[in-house]
């Protein structure tokens, strides 16, 4: 089976190196959000199917763990080559099932490849430490070992990049893996499994179970799942963190966000507007790093009109069209909720500068929603507090940087924040005092690369060790000390 060449797929689970039919009573359609075309149907697997996959992963663990790390890394060198060869195909698949633009999807695939490249460094990253002579004729050494079966639970918005935050590093460290992809964008995961097989990954080392809550709960409850990597919305992240921790599992749960962009009086307005529009409305605002609130310092009235003018220029449509910047939201149910939230924000007293609801009817088949901008939003309003995950942008006002930072730090979320300024003192103050874990200076989407931790804070992250970088290595390995007297 090649997922990319079939028209309407019946998705199967991938267990022990084989594609398994699922005898589920419940299946969900997977439409292309831009056209409404049915791409696939995905099964809602049960805990029985979870158990089969975890058993397969558990069975494969010993041999995989014992394979020398250089050999495991070599499989990922081959995998990296395959991903490069299939870059265009994978990006097209992301556009189809997620709806984002081809340019964004191509970039997403590249971010995923970079995770594999980092994982290829495992022989270096997994090195321990040693100290000779801790006492007379005594040495101490630290070794790293894999944990066992690791589960990954992923969201719809990055079907390539987010799974790649997890399985390449977990596997190269010697763990085996069960992936539960988003039921809204499940297709690409199967292609990743096909390419892993082509790269030479042994059966059972990587498994996929499609579904929703039951699969997640099955993984959280399973005795043989030793660690859980989760990325998704805040309430689910908190639930996964609490449940997994209560069962004694390691867990990292990356969660929702409300990302502020502070525009200082000295900012280059043209560049700030350009960055904010693409951060807020690119991928239809469905990025955990999307700018959803601007904090305007000083009375920059020209900023609001420039922002609106730039948003007016955006072409809306299918992500395969090169000129398109504004792509659909994931489902109509989400669009309906967002439209209600827009109405609520208006009733709470925010000034509607641009109403994206007016552009809904022009694109009947896709789940499109125009760019929406609210001005004079205050920190108490729901729109300032909650994540909408849609092309909706709020503008708040502050007298100075300290007031702006108070707004940023008043949020329960702490994923990212950006400052637009060239004033060294302001930049330093922002770096020292802003609470979010990923900061940008004159950068619209300050996402760290794969060799750094993806380091959200507060309610944007539950756990200790973040995804990627050395944090990722520490998360997917346990340490053992040996102290020897000779």
Sign of the C-alpha dihedral, residues 291, 461, 255, 166?
positive
Q: Which of residues 132-171 bind ligand NAD (CB under 6 A)?
A: 153-158, 162
| Binding test (CB under 6 A) with ligand NAD, winner from 55, 233, 321, 442 | 233
Q: Which of residues 404-433 bind ligand NAD (CB under 6 A)?
A: 415
Q: Which is nearer to ligand NAD, 297 or 339 (CB)?
A: 339
Does 241 interact with ligand NAD (rule: CB under 6 A)? Answer: no
Phi first, then psi, for residue 351 (nearest 5°) are -90, 120
Angle subtended at Cα 175 by Cα 169 and Cα 176, rounded to the nearest 5 degrees = 105
Q: Which is nearer to ligand NAD, 101 or 283 (CB)?
A: 283
| Binding test (CB under 6 A) with ligand NAD, winner from 189, 228, 254, 404 | 254
Does residue 56 contact residue 15 with C-beta atoms inside 8 Å?
yes
Phi first, then psi, for residue 63 (nearest 5°) are -65, -40
Question: Residue 469 is inside which H or E element, if any?
Answer: helix 469-475
**How far is 123 from 228, CA to CA, in rounded Å?**
23
Q: Which of 462, 37, 395, 423 is nearest to 238 (CA)?
A: 462
Q: Which is nearer to ligand NAD, 80 or 157 (CB)?
A: 157
Q: Which residue has the tokens 């001005």?
A: 375
Does 232 interact with ligand NAD (rule: CB under 6 A)? Answer: yes
**How far is 202 from 75, CA to CA, in rounded Å?**
10
Does residue 258 contact residue 293 with C-beta atoms inside 8 Å?
yes
Q: Which is nearer to ligand NAD, 216 or 369 (CB)?
A: 216
Taking the complex as a whole, how short is the minimal distance between the CB of residue 415 and ligand NAD, in angstroms?
6
CB neighbour burial string for 369-392, b if at least 16 within 10 angstroms, e if fewer: bbbbbbbebebebebbebbbbbbb
Contact track, ligand NAD, 72-111, x by CB under 6 A: ----------------------------------------
Catalytic residues, by residue number, are 288
Does 182 interact with ligand NAD (rule: CB under 6 A)? Answer: yes
By CB under 6 A, which span of 94-102, 112-120, 197-205, 228-236 interacts with ligand NAD? 228-236
By CB under 6 A, which span of 44-52, 180-188, 221-229, 367-375 interacts with ligand NAD? 180-188
Taking the complex as a whole, how short is the minimal distance between the CB of residue 412 and ligand NAD, in angstroms?
13
By CB under 6 A, which span of 39-47, 137-145, 178-186, 357-365 interacts with ligand NAD? 178-186
User: Closest-CB residue for ligand NAD?
Assistant: 232
Taking the complex as a whole, how short is the minimal distance between the CB of residue 112 and ligand NAD, in angstroms?
13
Does 24 interact with ligand NAD (rule: CB under 6 A)? Answer: no
By CB under 6 A, which span of 110-118, 176-184, 312-320, 422-430 interacts with ligand NAD? 176-184
Sign of the C-alpha dihedral, residues 122, 126, 131, 132?
negative
Does 216 interact with ligand NAD (rule: CB under 6 A)? Answer: yes
Maximum separation of any 2 CA atoms in the chain, in Å = 80
| Binding test (CB under 6 A) with ligand NAD, winner from 64, 389, 462, 476 | 389
Taking the complex as a whole, how short is the minimal distance between the CB of residue 288 and ligand NAD, in angstroms?
3
CB atoms near residue 339 (< 10 Å): 18
Q: Which two tokens stand for residue 260?
A: 């502020």
- What one-character DSSP code corresponds to residue 232? S
Phi first, then psi, for residue 395 (nearest 5°) are -120, 125
Give the number of residues in contact with ligand NAD, rule: CB under 6 A: 28
Q: Which is nearer to ligand NAD, 158 or 167 (CB)?
A: 158
Q: Which of 447, 464, 485 is nearest to 115 (CA)?
A: 447
Q: Which two tokens stand for residue 367?
A: 């789940």
Could you list the residues that contact ligand NAD (CB under 6 A)? 153-158, 162, 180, 182-183, 212-213, 216, 231-233, 236, 254-257, 288, 387, 389, 415, 454, 456, 460
């Amino acid at each position: 089976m090649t997922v990319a060449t079939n028209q309407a797929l019946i998705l199967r689970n991938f267990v022990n190196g084989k594609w398994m039919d699922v005898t589920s009573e419940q299946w969900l359609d997977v439409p292309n959000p831009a056209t409404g075309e049915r791409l696939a149907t995905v099964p809602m697997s049960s805990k029985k199917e979870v158990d089969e996959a975890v058993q397969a992963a558990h069975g494969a663990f010993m041999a995989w763990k014992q394979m020398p790390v250089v050999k495991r890394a070599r499989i990922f060198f081959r995998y990296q080559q395959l991903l490069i060869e299939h870059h265009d195909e994978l990006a097209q698949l992301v556009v189809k099932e997620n709806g984002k633009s081809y340019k964004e999807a191509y970039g997403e695939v590249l971010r995923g490849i970079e995770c594999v490249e980092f994982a290829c460094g495992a022989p270096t990253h997994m090195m321990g430490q040693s100290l000779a002579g801790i006492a007379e004729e005594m040495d101490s050494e630290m070794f790293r070992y894999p944990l066992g079966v690791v589960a990954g639970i992923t969201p719809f918005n990055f079907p390539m990049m987010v799974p790649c935050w997890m399985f390449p590093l977990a596997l190269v460290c010697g763990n085996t893996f069960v992936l539960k992809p988003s039921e809204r964008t499940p297709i690409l995961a199967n292609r990743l499994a096909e390419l892993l097989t082509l790269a030479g990954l042994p059966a059972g080392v990587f498994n996929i179970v499609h579904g929703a809550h039951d699969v997640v709960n099955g993984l959280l409850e399973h005795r043989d799942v030793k660690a859980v990597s989760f990325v998704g919305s805040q309430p689910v992240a908190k639930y996964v963190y609490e449940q997994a921790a209560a069962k004694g599992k390691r867990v990292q749960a990356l969660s929702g966000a409300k990302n502020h962009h502070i525009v200082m009086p000295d900012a280059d307005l043209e560049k700030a507007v350009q960055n904010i529009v693409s951060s807020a409305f690119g991928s239809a605002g469905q990025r955990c790093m999307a700018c959803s609130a601007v904090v305007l310092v000083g009375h920059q009235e020209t900023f609001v009109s420039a922002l609106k003018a730039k948003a007016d220029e955006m072409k809306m449509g299918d992500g395969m069209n090169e000129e398109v910047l504004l792509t659909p939201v994931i489902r109509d149910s989400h669009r309906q909720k967002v439209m209600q939230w827009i109405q609520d924000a208006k009733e709470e007293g925010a000034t509607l500068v641009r109403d994206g609801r007016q552009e809904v009817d022009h694109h009947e088949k896709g789940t499109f929603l125009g760019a929406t901008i609210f001005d004079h939003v205050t920190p108490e309003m729901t729109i300032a507090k909650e994540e909408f995950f849609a092309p909706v942008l709020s503008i708040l006002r502050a007298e100075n940087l300290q007031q702006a930072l108070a707004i940023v730090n008043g949020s329960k979320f702490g994923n990212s924040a950006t400052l637009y300024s060239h004033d060294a003192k302001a930049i330093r103050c922002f770096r020292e005092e802003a609470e979010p874990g990923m900061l940008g200076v004159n950068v619209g989407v300050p996402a760290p690369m794969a060799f750094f931790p993806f380091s959200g804070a507060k309610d944007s992250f539950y756990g200790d060790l973040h995804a990627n970088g050395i944090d990722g290595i520490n998360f997917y390995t346990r340490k053992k000390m040996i102290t020897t007297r000779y």
